[in-house]
């Protein structure tokens, strides 16, 4: 019965069972020193911890590079667990963030003067500087009007409130806001720090991963640590749920990440007249096979039947062609044009089969001319 | 008396015929208690929905089969009323947010928050969470997808989301990275034949191999279509022997007729004729993309090799325009005229065609 009571207790407190918690949340950095890579930003922010002065900040960079983690860790270090709730307001895209919210909620929060410092309950002392922090996550999805309304608020309450805007595309933040903040650029993670972090998590979770798996994780996630961690968690879930538990392979990771298997893409590329290197079992001269409309169409239909995603197939094909060692630059340029057109069309929601076929035919034509 | 497709739909994960590896994974995930958000994707008729309902049954037992249909009213920010149909049982809820059109964000936000903030009250329930199934997830707007992001992390303890989509291209990366991706590929011809034989065995009659091969070839990897065709054939000729004629749907023959018209003659009068046929097709609710694809594929079959690539290029080009644009018929016509002029020009070059009557 104790088991059930324990469960009920956690439920009433709205706590997530740590076993079910996403690892991304579980292993979020607790202090800014834990943040992987980003040395420059961390060095600047560490100074603010001692001087307790903070400018308005604008964090930008690709997803999964630690923007949200950094600001959360920083504010936790500044205020400690007790004051965190009344000193920090976090808003993101899932909350309504129209102009009315900016006018009411943000303004009201910004206007309050923070209460005097209390002694922290866990015995540690925190700097607890005399201002509040408002974190606007995913700020690039805020409308122009809402951003405009922030301008004056940021200045008026600058004495008691600091803003931190977090976004992926700095160009979507209006210029007046950007000029009020000091900007921090977050760069995609290099493979050494990703490897380090992933193996830390793996050892903490008691799962064994081979270096091969780690390198696949890093390849498929492209510098996005959050994606790498999520893939790792899904893979470990799958492998531990089978009976007996099987070790994680890099093929599992590819399947979870939705990557099209290399031989499928190579096969498609070969049908388009691209010589694919790297795999040894290419039998005979590829040029001997008749290439034409029918073969390409058949290949495209097969890919669609397998259910692979069009954008993923295109990006992998793109990698093969653009990094190809022997193709002349002019042909590559023609192919690149076709890829760009197709990407735009897919973003607009066009039919996938038609556009993969189109790219295939264009590449075929570019290479045979 | 229900259709065979529904009558013989597998109810549990053990009854599924193909993709055994996938079924085993789903089964062990459902048993482990650590069930993630999931995204099922694959071509239509591959069995995504069937797999989802089997997984639900594995998770919650027979209770999920007691369904009720509810109509809910949501109010958009501009005070418009939206009526959405919701299929639900005690343990799960199924929505098709694309019904709400532009306002799908409101539906997603309200409905998910409401479900997420209530806990499972049934003490006998096997799982502590509820499942939300979102159909046609690839037609969700960007806003709605962005609204899902944080909700998926925050309410993990009360709710799991299962997304069902034809392709992952239109889903934003943050959603994909939060789900466990499940690719459901179309069954291979042999796998489809075993399913057909299984159905025939259940109904206690013999299925000649030629007939099943023909059905499989015609369906193009779509299991649902194969079963429907199978049932129709059985109605036509009960013994399923001799030369079978699989009736193509009317719209398909109609599209082929249009393609033939285009290839036969290229004049303004012919364009008018094609135009009225297109109107006919559109007024019967055939999606314009399907029309364009079917006609283009047929046209390509009957022209020279060097023209094929161009025809597909323009088909892709105008298909994209059609999505962005408003009036579908313009783009269909533009494509027809383009193809006709291309065809004419090459014909002129090759055979030195007499153009005098058009000048």
Question: A243: pLDDT confidence band, cut at 50, 70 and 90?
Answer: low
Q: Which letter does DSSP use for residue A118 in this model? A: -
CB contact under 8 A, B181 and A257: yes
Residues 6+ apart with CB under 8 A from A83: A117, A118, A120, A126, A128
B89 in helix, strand or coil? coil
Q: In chain A, whose CA is at the least distance from the CA of B30?
A: A241
Tell me which of A86 and B275 has the higher pLDDT: B275
Q: What is the Cα–Cα distance from B55 to A199, expressed in whole angstroms? A: 33
Indicate if the pLDDT at residue A156 is higher than 80.
Answer: yes
Dihedral sign computed on CA atoms, order B324, B328, B330, B335: positive
Most confident of A91-105, B34-48, B337-351: B34-48
Q: In chain B, whose CA is at the least distance from the CA of A364?
A: B309
Strands, E assignment, B96-205: 130-134, 159-165, 180-183
Burial class, A45, CB count within 10 angstroms (exposed 0-12 / middle 13-18 / buried 19+): buried
Tell me which of A124 and A361 has the higher pLDDT: A361
Cis peptide before A32 (omega within 30 of 0): no
Q: How many helices (H) and strands (E) does chain A have?
A: 17, 5
User: How far, CA to CA in Å, does A234 sit from each of A25, A180, B130, B281?
Assistant: 14, 41, 20, 46
Q: What is the pLDDT of residue A87?
A: 86
Strands, E assignment, A28-150: 57-60, 88-91, 132-136
Q: Which two tokens stand for residue B97?
A: 């947010």
- What ipTM describes this predicted complex? 0.82
Is this model's pTM higher than 0.80 or not?
A: no
Please report residues of A whose CB lies closer than 8 A to that of B24.
242
Residue with tokens 């800014």: A32
Q: What is the Cα–Cα distance from B348 to A190, expressed in whole angstroms? A: 59
Residue with tokens 């499942």: B131
Q: What is the pLDDT of residue B332?
A: 93
For residues A151 and A177, the answer to whether their CB atoms sit within 8 Å is yes
Q: What is the Cα–Cα distance from A97 to A143, expressed in whole angstroms? A: 8
Instruction: Kindly provide the b/e burial profile for residues B51-67, where b requires at least 16 CB atoms within 10 angstroms of the residue's own CB.
Output: bbbbbbbbbbeebbeee
Q: What is the pLDDT of residue B141?
A: 84
CB contact under 8 A, B28 and A257: no
CA proximity to B313, closest of A361, A138, A29, A252 = A361
Q: What is the Cα–Cα distance from A103 to A106, expressed in whole angstroms? A: 6
Please report residues of B whose CB lies closer than 8 A to that of A255.
181, 183
Indicate if the pLDDT at residue A50 is higher than 60.
Answer: yes
User: How far, CA to CA in Å, does B112 sit from each of B72, B95, B143, B190?
Assistant: 13, 10, 15, 41
Q: What is the Cα–Cα distance from B206 to B200, expressed in whole angstroms? A: 6
Tell me which of A369 and A174 has the higher pLDDT: A174
CB contact under 8 A, B177 and A365: no
Q: What percent of chain A has pLDDT over 90?
A: 11
Please report residues of B whose CB lies closer than 8 A to that of A348.
320, 323-324
pLDDT in tens, A3-20: 444 444 434 444 555 666
Kindly report the number of other CB atoms within 10 A of residue B129's CB atom: 21
Residues 6+ apart with CB under 8 A from A320: A265, A266, A269, A274, A276
Q: What is the pLDDT of residue A60?
A: 92
Out of A256, A352, A361, whose CB is closest to B312? Answer: A361
Q: In chain A, whose CA is at the least distance from the CA of B177?
A: A227
Out of B151, B308, B320, whose CB is closest to A350? Answer: B320
Q: What is the Cα–Cα distance from B165 to B182, expressed in whole angstroms? A: 10
CA distance B272 to chain A (A): 26
Q: What is the pLDDT of residue B17?
A: 84
Q: Which two tokens stand for residue A151?
A: 């301008």
Q: What is the pLDDT of residue A280?
A: 46
For residues A235 and A225, the answer to whether their CB atoms sit within 8 Å is no
CB contact under 8 A, B169 and A358: no
Q: What is the pLDDT of residue B359?
A: 45
Indicate if the pLDDT at residue A84 is higher than 80.
Answer: yes
Out of A64, A240, A310, whose CB is closest to B169? Answer: A310
Q: What is the pLDDT of residue B133?
A: 92
Mutation site, B168, B177, B307, interface A, largest A CB count within 10 A: B177
Mutation site, A256, A305, A364, interface B, largest B CB count within 10 A: A305
Q: What is the Cα–Cα distance from A346 to A341, expressed in whole angstroms? A: 9
User: How far, CA to CA in Å, does A183 sit from each of A18, A40, A67?
Assistant: 35, 12, 12
Q: What is the pLDDT of residue A253?
A: 84
């Amino acid at each position: 019965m104790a088991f059930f009571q324990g469960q009920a207790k956690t439920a009433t407190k709205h706590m997530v069972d740590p076993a079910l918690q996403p690892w991304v949340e579980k292993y979020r950095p607790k202090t800014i020193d834990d943040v992987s890579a980003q040395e420059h930003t961390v060095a600047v922010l560490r100074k603010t911890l001692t001087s307790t002065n903070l400018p308005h900040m604008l964090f930008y960079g690709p997803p999964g590079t630690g923007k949200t983690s950094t600001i959360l860790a920083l504010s936790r270090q500044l205020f400690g667990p007790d004051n965190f709730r009344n000193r920090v307001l976090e808003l993101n895209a899932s909350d309504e963030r129209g102009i009315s919210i900016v006018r009411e909620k943000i303004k009201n929060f910004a206007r309050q003067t923070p209460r005097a410092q209390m002694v922290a309950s866990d015995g540690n002392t925190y700097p607890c500087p005399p201002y509040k922090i408002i974190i606007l996550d995913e700020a690039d999805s805020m409308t122009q009007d809402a951003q405009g309304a922030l301008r004056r608020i940021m200045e008026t309450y600058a004495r008691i409130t600091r803003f931190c805007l977090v976004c992926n595309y700095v160009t979507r933040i209006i210029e007046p806001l950007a000029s009020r903040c000091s900007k921090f650029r977050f760069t995609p993670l290099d493979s050494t720090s990703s490897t380090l972090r992933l193996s830390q998590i793996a050892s903490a979770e008691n799962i064994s991963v081979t270096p091969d798996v780690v390198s696949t994780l890093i390849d498929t996630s492209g510098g996005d640590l959050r994606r790498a961690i999520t893939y790792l968690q899904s893979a470990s879930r799958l492998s531990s749920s089978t009976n007996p538990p099987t070790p994680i392979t890099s093929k599992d990771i590819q399947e979870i990440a939705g990557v099209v298997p290399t031989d499928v893409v190579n096969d498609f590329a070969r049908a388009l007249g691209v010589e694919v290197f790297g795999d040894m079992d290419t039998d005979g001269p590829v040029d001997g096979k008749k290439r034409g409309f029918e073969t390409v169409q058949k290949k495209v239909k097969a890919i669609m039947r397998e259910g692979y995603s069009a954008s993923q197939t295109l990006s992998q094909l793109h990698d093969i062609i653009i990094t190809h060692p022997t193709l002349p630059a002019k042909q590559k340029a023609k192919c690149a044009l076709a890829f760009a057109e197709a990407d735009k069309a897919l973003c607009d929601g066009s039919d996938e089969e038609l556009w993969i076929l189109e790219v295939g035919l264009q590449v075929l034509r570019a290479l045979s001319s | 008396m229900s259709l065979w497709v529904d009558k013989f739909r597998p109810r549990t994960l053990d009854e599924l015929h193909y993709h055994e590896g996938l079924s085993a994974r789903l089964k062990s995930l459902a048993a482990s208690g650590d069930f993630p958000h999931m995204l099922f994707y694959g071509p239509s008729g591959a069995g995504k929905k069937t797999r989802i309902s089997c997984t639900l049954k594995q998770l919650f037992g027979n209770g999920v089969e007691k369904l009720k249909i509810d109509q809910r009213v949501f109010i958009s920010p501009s005070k418009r009323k939206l009526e959405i149909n919701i299929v639900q049982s005690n343990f799960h809820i199924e929505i098709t947010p694309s019904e709400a059109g532009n306002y799908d964000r409101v539906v997603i936000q309200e409905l998910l928050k409401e479900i997420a903030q209530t806990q499972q009250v049934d003490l006998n329930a096997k799982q502590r969470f509820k499942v939300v199934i979102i159909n046609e997830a690839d037609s969700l707007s960007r806003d709605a997808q962005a609204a899902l992001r944080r909700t998926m992390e925050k309410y993990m303890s009360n709710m799991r989301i299962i997304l069902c989509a034809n392709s992952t291209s239109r889903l934003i990366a943050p959603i994909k990275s939060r789900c466990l991706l499940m690719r459901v590929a179309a069954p291979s011809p042999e796998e489809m034949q075993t399913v057909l034989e299984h159905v025939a065995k259940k109904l206690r009659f013999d299925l000649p191999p030629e007939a099943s091969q023909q059905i499989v070839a015609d369906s193009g990897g779509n299991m649902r279509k194969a079963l429907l065709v199978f049932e129709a054939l059985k109605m036509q000729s009960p013994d399923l022997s001799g030369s079978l004629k699989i009736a193509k749907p009317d719209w398909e023959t109609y599209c082929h007729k249009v393609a033939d018209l285009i290839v036969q003659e290229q004049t303004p009068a012919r364009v008018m004729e094609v135009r009225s046929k297109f109107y006919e097709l559109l007024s019967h609710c055939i999606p314009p993309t399907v029309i364009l694809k079917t006609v283009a594929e047929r046209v390509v079959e009957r022209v020279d090799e060097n023209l094929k690539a161009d025809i597909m290029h323009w088909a892709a080009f105008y298909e994209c325009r059609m999505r962005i644009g408003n009036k579908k018929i313009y783009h269909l016509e533009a494509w027809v005229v383009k193809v006709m002029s291309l065809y004419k020009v090459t014909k002129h070059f090759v055979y030195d065609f007499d153009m005098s009557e058009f000048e």
